[in-house]
Amino acid sequence: MHSFKARTAQADVHLDQATAALRSQLRRMIAAEGTDRTPDWSTLRIWGPFEVFSQRGEIRYEYRGLVDTSRTAVPSRALAG
């Protein structure tokens, strides 16, 4: 099993938006690796919000996410030949 982690910062405290952003980012990271791994969303863990400052000094709310992956199963039809 392989794990991937990501983070996102939002202007407001909004768990649903942060979760969508993290899932999207994690999906891209896993696809960019170019392996046969897929995210196991049942293992998704999210922490936050944490108050952080942007480069302009504005308060942002950071969320962090971690997901495990599993290998993509080969369909039984493909194995049959």
**Tens digits of residue pLDDT in 5-47:** 999 999 999 999 999 999 999 999 999 998 889 999 999 999 9
CA–CA gap between residue 36 and residue 24 (Å, rounded): 18
Domain count, the chain: 1
In a domain, 34, yes or no: yes
- Is residue 81 situated within a structural domain? no
Domain assignment present for residue 36? The answer is: yes
The answer to whether residue 40 sits within a structural domain is yes
- Answer whether residue 65 is part of any domain: yes
What is the pTM assigned to this prediction?
A: 0.82
Whether residue 72 contacts residue 36, with contact meaning beta carbons closer than 8 Å, is answered with yes
With beta carbons less than 8 A apart as the criterion, state whether 16 and 49 touch. Answer: no
Q: Indicate whether 79 belongs to any domain.
A: no
In a domain, 63, yes or no: yes
Tell me, yes or no, whether 48 lies in a domain: yes
In tens, the pLDDT along 40-54 reads: 999 999 999 999 999
* Phi, psi of 36, rounded to the nearest 5 degrees: -90, 20
| Structural domain boundaries, residue 39 | 2-74
